[in-house]
Chains A and B, each alone.
Chain A
Amino acid sequence: AQSVTQPDIHITVSEGASLELRCNYSYGATPYLFWYVQSPGQGLQLLLKYFSGDTLVQGIKGFEAEFKRSQSSFNLRKPSVHWSDAAEYFCAVGAGTASKLTFGTGTRLQVTL
C-alpha cells in the first residue's frame, strides 16, 4: 500500500522568504501526486498535481513542486511567501488513481511579518 510522509509538522517563515515543504511517498510505480492547502475550518483546495511528463509542475498562488523519482519526493516550493499563505498543507498520493488518495499528516505553515 502507498504511504506519504510529511516530516515537518510546523514551519515558520518570514514574509518574503522562500519556502520548501517536504513530502516523501512510498509506492512501487509512478504515482499521482498532489498538494492541497487548507485554511482553518475550511475544506481543501488543490494547489497542483503531477500525473506524468514534466517533473516540475506549476500550481496556483505561485507554488510549484518537483517530482524526484530517485528520492521518492514531491516537495512544494514558493520563492516568496505572503502572509496569506499561512495555512495547513497536505501532500497526497494516488496509486493508479487520482481520486482515491492517501494523505500525509500535513504541515502547518506560519508566516511572520
Chain B
Amino acid sequence: SQTIHQWPATLVQPVGSPLSLECTVEGTSNPNLYWYRQAAGRGLQLLFYSVGIGQISSEVPQNLSASRPQDRQFILSSKKLLLSDSGFYLCAWSGGLNSPLHFGNGTRLTVT
C-alpha cells in the first residue's frame, strides 16, 4: 500500500532563516505531488504541484519554492522565512489528475 511521509512534524524557525520541508511517497511510482498550506480559519491553499521530476507549477506568488529531485520526493523551501510563512504545511499525492488526494500528517511551522 502507499504511504506518505513528511518531516519534521514541528519546526520553529527565526525570521530570515532558510527552510526545507521534505515529503516522500512509498508504494507508487510517478505520483502527482502537492504542497498545501493551512492557515487558521482559512482552509487549505494549494501552493505547488508536480506531475513529474523537475516539473513544478506554482499556484500563488510567495516567498516559497518547491523542487522534485526524485520521482517520489517533494521539497518545500525558502531562502528567508517571513512571519507570514507560519502555518501548517501538508504534502499530498495522487495517482493522476482524476484520482483523489492523499495527505501526509503535516508540518507545523512557526516563524518567530
Measured CB to CB, the residues of A under 8 A from B are 4, 9, 32, 34, 36, 41-46, 49, 51, 90, 92, 97-106
Contacts and interface: CB of A to CB of B under 8 A. Distances in A.
A99 B48 CA distance: 12
Contact of A100 (B41, B46, B90, B105): B46
Closest 8 CB pairs of A and B: A43-B103, A99-B94, A103-B44, A105-B43, A103-B43, A44-B103, A97-B97, A43-B105
A100 B49 contact: yes
Contacts, number: 67
B24 interface: no
B67 to A, nearest CB: 19
B44 A90 contact: yes
Contacts of A100: 34, 46, 49, 97
A42 B105 contact: yes
A67 B32 CA distance: 27
B36 to A, nearest CB: 8
Contacts of A51: 98
